[in-house]
Amino acid sequence: MTALSIQNLKKTYNNGFVALKGVDLDVQRGDFFALLGPNGAGKSTLIGIISSLVNKTSGLVSIFGHDLDKDNVAAKTCIGVVPQEVNFNQFETSMSVVMNQAGYYGIPRKQALRRTEQCLRQMELWDKRDVVSRRLSGGMKRRLMIARAMVHSPRLLILDEPTAGVDIEIRRSMWEMMQEVNKQGTTIILTTHYLEEAESLCRNIAIINNGQIIEKSAMSSLLSRLHTDHFVLDIARPLSLAPIIAGYDIVLNADTVLDVAVPKSHGLNRLFQALSEQHIEVLSLRNKSNRLEQLFLDLVQ
């Protein structure tokens, strides 16, 4: 069963700007799905329409089989949204932000209190429950929005750049949290500009550019399209010329740094063997850039 199904979705804003030009997208139940695209591509517009914050111009959206227009109560009940920008009442405490949202979903008070505590604890905000929300740090505000989005136990959680501006430690704990939630059966759609995040978390991916989906596939099959890996090698002794090794494209970046393009068909063993023969001692090795990032740039440009 599809968690989200979108057919020929179009959006023209009031000022005439066409933000979505006929988007088709299916996200399977249980998936951890990445929605990627450059600034202004239309990601937030798409999420806005799915979560009833933006009126669509035409097209169909259904969530777990519930049409968003015809069966909107059932459809809305299935979704939790974490928006890109802070949108809670900054004068209320963390606790009442989450409690109110539970109330809007019709959850009776006793049950709402229990769920609110669970969600705030999961987001490590329980200690901050009585703090007025505008006094929370940026990362805490994001976590508060995640807690709020989960209070009614949605089957589909949509996160619009939840890790933007969040420190490394918290980002890692958010990754763990998202994986945990996904493991428990919640379908997740994530947008992010940190492609290594998408690469390590998500199983399927869509790339949107200028209001159109330009790529849809499984993460692994997308990555396997990359035939060349780029590495950076730090070497022990300075060189004046880049070594020449058949099959590999090597550039001397600084006198002790080599950039090497390694075709998948050749692998690394042959490279190291050849380097040893030329008495070049390698101290360390790292990826030049994230693999998904290279593909992304190729596709978007």
Partner 1 sequence: MNYSVAFLTILFKEIRRFTRIWPQTLLPPAITTALYFLIFGKLIGDRIGLVHGVSYMDYIVPGIILMSVISHSYSNVVSSFYSTKFQRHIEELLVAPVPNYVILAGYVCGGIARGVLVGVVVAGISMMFTHTTILHWDIAAAVFVLTATLFALAGFINAVFADSFDDISIIPNFVLTPLSYLGGVFYSVAMLPGIWQKIAQANPILYMINAFRYGMIGVSDVQIELAFAMTGGLIVFLTALSLLLLHKGIGIKN
Stretch that binds Mg ion, among 24-32, 44-52, 55-63, 249-257 (CB under 5 A): 44-52
Lay out the site mask for partner 1 across 136-155 (x = CB under 8 A, - = otherwise).
------------x---x---
Q: Using the rule CB under 6 A, is 81 a contact of ligand ATP?
A: no
Lay out the site mask for partner 1 across 40-79 (x = CB under 8 A, - = otherwise).
--------x--xxxxx----------------xx--xx-x
From ligand ATP, partner 1, Mg ion, none, interface partner of 246 (C-beta below 5 to 8 A by class): none
To the nearest whole angstrom, how small is the minimum distance from the Cβ of residue 79 to partner 1? 7
**Is the Cβ of residue 30 or residue 59 nearer to ligand ATP in the bound state?**
59
Helix axes 138-150, 94-104, angle to 10 degrees: 30
**Is the Cβ of residue 101 or residue 186 nearer to partner 1 in the bound state?**
101
CB 49 within 8 A of CB 56: yes
Helix axes 138-150, 109-122, angle to 10 degrees: 140
Stretch that binds partner 1, among 28-36, 82-90, 218-226, 281-289 (CB under 8 A): 82-90
Mention every residue, 6+ apart, whose C-beta is less than 8 A from residue 224.
none
Partners of 10 in beta bridges? 21, 58
Q: Using the rule CB under 8 A, is 106 a contact of partner 1?
A: yes
Structural Rg of the chain based on CA atoms? 23
To the nearest whole angstrom, how small is the minimum distance from the Cβ of residue 102 to Mg ion? 26
Q: Using CB under 5 A, which of 44, 94, 116, 186 touches Mg ion?
A: 44
From partner 1, ligand ATP, Mg ion, none, interface partner of 88 (C-beta below 5 to 8 A by class): partner 1
Reference 230, options 285, 296, 148, 301; nearest CA is: 285
Q: Using CB under 6 A, which of 1, 39, 168, 184 touches ligand ATP?
A: 39
Q: Using CB under 6 A, which of 84, 93, 118, 228 touches ligand ATP?
A: 84
To the nearest whole angstrom, how small is the minimum distance from the Cβ of residue 17 to ligand ATP? 4
How far apart CA 225 and CA 1 sit, in angstroms, is 28
Helices (H), 202-290: 219-224, 269-277
Give φ, ψ of 213 to 5 degrees. Answer: -80, 120
Mention every residue, 6+ apart, whose C-beta is less than 8 A from residue 142.
82, 162, 163, 164, 165, 166, 174
Q: Using the rule CB under 6 A, is 142 a contact of ligand ATP?
A: no
Where does residue 36 rank: exposed (0-12), middle (13-18), buried (19+ CB within 10 A)?
buried
To the nearest whole angstrom, how small is the minimum distance from the Cβ of residue 19 to ligand ATP? 4
CB 23 within 8 A of CB 36: no
Q: Could you list the residues that contact partner 1 (CB under 8 A)?
A: 13-14, 48, 51-55, 72-73, 76-77, 79, 81, 83, 85, 87-90, 96, 100-101, 103-109, 148, 152
